[in-house]
Amino acid sequence: MSALPLVYYGSEILTGIALPVPKVSSEIKKLVDEMFETMRLNNGVGLAAPQVGVNKRVIVIDVSHIGVEPFALVNPVILKQSGSAEDSEGCLSLPGIFLPVVRSEKITVRGRDIKGRSITIQADGFLARVLQHEIDHLEGKVFVDRIEDRDSVNKEVEALKVRLAQFALTGKWEDADE
Ligand code: NI
């Protein structure tokens, strides 16, 4: 088991619709393990398969700091959502950008766990936010797509492009100010 390279903003896979997983196979279990490792190595709270270059409907979430066991969801679907809440978000694919995003406050999500069993999760607060963020990735959306203030987003994204270009050249993040 090893961490996988992250895919960054600007990569085509982050804008595509990820494919449903027909069966939670050993290949999917291995992917989940590698996604957990990648997420932890990068201090993330959630990760979607397209962010490691895999076009499949798989997400992993680790919000153990709020008392929820880490879990993976395959083919997650939002069944219900209600309310509205705004909070700051970031994303491992857009390093260094943190901006407020409006999302549903409460959601009900159904998917398959790592054993292939159907599970339903009712979530609010931070977990609801992380779930929505990761499920968005499966629809080819990143969090800045949800922000209405396009001027702020464009400014941040331009600066990110410079950081990504430097990273591509040197393999290092310059002037990490976070
Ligand atoms: Ni993300």
10 Å CB burial of residue 163 (0-12, 13-18, 19+) is: buried
Q: What is the pLDDT of residues 152-177, one digit of tens each?
A: 999 999 999 999 999 999 999 876 55
- Distance from residue 168's CA to the centre of ligand 1 (Å): 20
- Distance from residue 32's CA to the centre of ligand 1 (Å): 16
- Distance from residue 24's CA to the centre of ligand 1 (Å): 23
Strand partners, 111: 119
105 is catalytic: no
Q: What is the pLDDT of residues 25-73, one digit of tens each?
A: 999 999 999 999 999 999 999 999 999 999 999 999 999 999 999 999 9
Going by C-alpha positions, the residue among 103, 98, 146, 101 that lies closest to residue 124 is 103
Query: What is the reported pLDDT for 177?
Result: 56
Query: What is the reported pLDDT for 175?
Result: 65
Query: What is the reported pLDDT for 174?
Result: 78
Q: What is the pLDDT of residues 131-141, one digit of tens each?
A: 999 999 999 99
Query: What is the reported pLDDT for 176?
Result: 56
- The answer to whether residue 20 scores a pLDDT higher than 60 is yes
**Using an 8 Å Cβ cutoff, are 129 and 107 in contact?**
no
Active-site hit among 34, 134, 139, 148? 134
- Distance from residue 141's CA to the centre of ligand 1 (Å): 9
- Distance from residue 94's CA to the centre of ligand 1 (Å): 8
- In this structure, how many other beta carbons lie within 10 angstroms of the beta carbon of residue 46? 23
